[in-house]
Amino acid sequence: MPMPCIMRMMPRVKRLFLLLAVLALLPVTALATNPEDSLLLGMTSVTTQRLNPFTSTEREFMSLTALMYEGLVQIDDDYNPKPCLAERWETSSDGRTWYFYLREGLTFHDGTPLTAGDVVASAHEILRLVEDTSVANKGPYASLRYFISDIQSNDNLTVVVRTSRPNYAFLYAMTFPVLPQAQVQADNPPGTGPYMADAFVPKDYMLLSANPVWWNGSVTVGQIMTIFHVANRDLVSSYEYSRVDAILTRSLTAAQYRSGMNSFNLTFRTRQLETLMMNNRAVELSDVLVRKAIRHAINLNAITSTTYMDMAARTDTLMPVGSWMYNDNAGHHEYNPELAREMLDAAGWIDGDDEDTIREKMIDGKKRNLVLRFFVYEEQENSVRLSTAHQIAGMLSDVGIQANVRAMSFTEARDAMKAGSFDLCLAAFQMDVAPDPGFLLMRGNTANYARYQSAEMDDLFTRLRAAQSREEYQMLLYQIQSRFFEDCPFMSLYYRSGAVLTRKMFTNARDMREPEVLRGVAESRRSARE
């Protein structure tokens, strides 16, 4: 019977012992010679069947493929673009044509030389997935369609890209992984990264070993064995019973583990931005004073520290705090229920009679109560977002706003926001690697569920998408955040955080973030010496 079939018939603990036996059967070259050069990692994975990064859906799993595949450009600890497969680049004076020059002598894991044709074929496959109506999963790099209007190779080492967005953010889009042109649709194509897959059984395990000819030097951790788990409770149990050295998780359960002498809790930043979406066309929310009153009524510090157990990083704008993109002077969410009441008074929403604490207002000759439809969609394995919604509803009630919470599926909530048949909705958005939140704020754009309209904001984004230097781009991002805070079309709450629980300190990366959560494990010995 084939090994994968035997594996699926066994309980997980027995399978773990078998996996260790499998390691002993692998070639000596695939094994770390020193236990300290290896890492036994745990994570959840229940849907991934292939390694091809173009169709990845599980974010934790992408941390593994990020060790295998590389792009023309990579993002450093300061969130700046730096050379990767391309040793340098230059652009035309109008910023619409870019030339990327590949490093010489690069090869894929199977020994095939890397050429400009591989880069072109990889970009074409990403764009094909976007256009293919029969494919539901467009992949994590679908936003490439907004940046590339044409891509071709001048020679084996030169890639020429023409872009429809001649701006600084274009470089961030060039981080898409490069696969061999003959294998862009393969299940398990080779990459150029610091690690290569020696074995992969979906839902069970994957063994990565160091790429001996990696262009950036030899790595400090030579082998990574990953055991996949079905649920977070099983994952945490594996760590508690020392079945694995480290686990990668977004579960709030990780918050109970604190760093100590023999265990470390490392926080990583996700791209998941949580918002309180507000329908600006709803009668009750059309006045900016009401929207700002809601902002002052909500105690975000209490929510992040209790409901999220500090596994969320507050942001008063749409950009991650601590990065060069964040405008710390745009404004701060101030929990001030008394100010919220004053704003509601100024907007004409006054206290009801003694028997009714809900505020009311005469609109078109009829009395209306300040009652809002508050939608929230469920999360798998936990009810953290639903708990947050009830917590917010209680805070709004304290200032005279009745928010009726209704839990629904993701599809139902998305359809309600698209149709505009909601007042409030707790909604999460996966932010793109390119720092451009225009999809949430520009008139008529794909995720402008708030129905926000601002000619000034539209103009700022038009200028942002023409800015070619980081300085100009940053200045415009700052102005966008100031305008966002002043207009308060909706509330930006926090970026969700994840955790790496580990008994081995394998990284010194200053900025641990998705999907490159494990990139510190691939730090080359050469870089460490430097």
The one-letter amino acid at 302? A
At the fourth CATH level, which superfamily is domain 69-188?
Answer: Dipeptide-binding Protein; Domain 1 (3.90.76.10)
The rounded distance, in Å, linking the Cα atoms of 148 and 146 is 6
Question: What's the CATH number for 1-67+193-245+504-530?
Answer: 3.40.190
The mean per-residue pLDDT over the stretch 339-367 comes to 88
Query: How many Cα atoms are found within 13 Å in the side-chain-facing hemisphere of 123?
Result: 24
Residue boundaries of the structural domains of the chain: 1-67+193-245+504-530, 69-188, 270-497
Residues of the chain with pLDDT > 70, as a percent, come to 90
If you average pLDDT over every residue of the chain, what do you get?
90
Q: What is the DSSP letter of 32?
A: -
**The pLDDT value given to residue 31:** 42
Among the listed ranges 39-43, 304-308, 346-350, 524-528, which one has the minimum average pLDDT value?
A: 524-528
CATH of 270-497, one of 3.40.50.720, 2.40.30.10, 3.10.105.10, 3.30.70.260: 3.10.105.10
pTM confidence score = 0.89
**The pLDDT value given to residue 494:** 96
List own/partner pairs for 8-17 with CB under 8 A and 24 or more apart.
Answer: 8/203, 8/204, 12/229, 12/234, 13/243, 15/204, 16/227, 16/243
Question: Edge to edge, what strands does the sheet with 148-155 contain?
Answer: 86-91, 97-102, 158-163, 148-155
32-54: per-residue pLDDT in tens?
Answer: 445 468 999 999 999 999 999 99
Among the listed ranges 225-239, 290-304, 344-358, 436-450, which one has the minimum average pLDDT value?
A: 344-358
Among the listed ranges 64-68, 101-105, 375-379, 430-434, which one has the minimum average pLDDT value?
A: 375-379
Same-fold call for 1-67+193-245+504-530 versus 69-188? no
**The pLDDT value given to residue 506:** 82
Q: Can you tell me whether residue 99 is helix, strand or coil?
A: strand
